[in-house]
Homo-oligomer: A and B are copies of this chain.
């Protein structure tokens, strides 16, 4: 027997409709690529997104077509998303920090028909233009007055938009239709395309907004420093308007000073980015003596948030740290470390112990950890296993079937991460499955070893990889970038780590390097590191 409730499809345009009607005057403040601070309200932004949808329709963009965006966080990038979705097409965010070759590969793989590109990123498109096989048109996100010289088939966004009026209705779509696309960052292999649906974006934004997740309200002023092209922009382009939160968009400038200026001038209450961004901000604050009087919460994810960073935010600047874990394949939020009543009254080191964890899964995210046999392992906060997830915001396949079947028999997606979960549901990532070191049938967490090593005052960065070992299968090698002007020996480091982990976890050797290879999103690239040390043999 069917229920008798209304059909109301979960399409992304509903979110912007809601913001425009219920929060018409709430603003999106952006540092424009041209320079000045720009302000627009949700009602206007919706009108312009509708106008863009009409313009795309007039141009000939059809349902299911892909349109790339190569852009920083500004109001125009938001309009691009909603306009593209509004005509039934698919926004495809491309990371400008990738190598040009990778960008060309991704755009060709996605078969993007057009690229909407920021003024200062046009040179990238020029560089790869000859390689692009499907792109017909380049829309430069500026006006005619700011257009640079170029030989590409370009139009200036503002003037192109003005060729039509805004009298248009969102295309009516099935909620399961594709809405957006984002390639994984390529830390562990070739990038693969994740295809979000309207439904997954809407449900994910609702879950992400809940009080124990981001807790977004109309009184929040949210600054996504995390770019929209990183893992679906952490959903903030959906969850902020869904709750009528104001948005503050940093544009192309993400140095400590630029970030602080916006945090302060725009009275930002919640901001989000990867740890490296916060490192820059904290250095700026220390250097200048500035403070963060308005900021209430900072969301930190993408890679593990160092304990010292959490401590500094919490104790020096009185900002609540929300450690989070997610992936491109998960829309992207998987867990957020908010405080359940069991831990809400902790403080000091005990609280930091909790905040070091990546947190617990909100409604719509189901987790399990499994052993090599695929059987679930217990949630005791110590036993670790492969982390697998299920839910409406998680991928069931990659674009064009790349990677084949990615779900287990119960429909769970293997995250490629290794984690333990405690009895209250708090999950902690201990490693990537590809990076875990299998020594004599037991698992050693490379991340745990790295976290301890970076605690040594002479260590700037540390990475641990497993190398083949005749007796134990694999043993850990610790690779270290020393701090400038610091001198440190293998013996110093191992003595420092002694007693902080089980004796059999201790690295068999320590190598000193000038630099550790990173991905475009700032993560340690262990594949490259393993290649670099392919011929290494343990000394002792």
Contact = CB atoms under 8 A, between A and B. Distances in A.
Interface string A336-373: 00111110100000000000000011011010000000
Q: Which of A4, A8, A340 neighbours the largest number of chain B CB atoms within 10 Å of its CB?
A: A4
Interface in A1-29: 1-8, 10, 14-15, 17-18, 21-26
A64 B340 contact: no
A397 interface: yes
Interface in A210-262: 210-212, 215-219, 242-244, 246
A328 interface: no
How many copies of this chain are found per oligomer?
Answer: 2
B399 A363 contact: no
B391 A206 contact: no
B2 A178 contact: yes
Contacts of A198: 3
A361 B211 contact: no
A468 interface: no
Contacts of A393: 5
A358 to B, nearest CB: 14
A455 interface: no
A1 B209 contact: no
B210 A207 contact: no
A403 to B, nearest CB: 11
A466 to B, nearest CB: 32
A197 interface: yes
A14 B364 CA distance: 8
B425 A341 contact: no
A456 interface: no
Contacts of A120: none
Nearest to A206: B206
B2 A177 contact: yes
Given A219-B341, A363-B15, A425-B23, A178 B211 contact: no
Contact of A242 (B197, B203, B363, B397): B363
A525 interface: no
A73 interface: no
Contacts of A90: 1
A243 B395 contact: no
A233 B392 CA distance: 27
A415 to B, nearest CB: 13
A480 to B, nearest CB: 39
B340 A218 contact: yes
Contacts of A342: 25
A17 B23 CA distance: 35
Nearest to A389: B6
Contacts of A424: 22, 25
Contacts of A203: 10, 206
Nearest to A397: B4
Given A15-B363, A210-B243, A211-B217, 8 more contacts: A1-B90, A2-B197, A5-B331, A6-B395, A17-B366, A206-B210, A210-B211, A219-B340
23 contacts: A1-B63, A1-B195, A2-B176, A2-B197, A4-B398, A6-B390, A6-B392, A6-B396, A7-B396, A8-B364, A8-B390, A8-B392, A15-B363, A22-B360, A22-B361, A24-B423, A206-B207, A209-B210, A210-B211, A211-B216, A212-B244, A218-B340, A243-B363
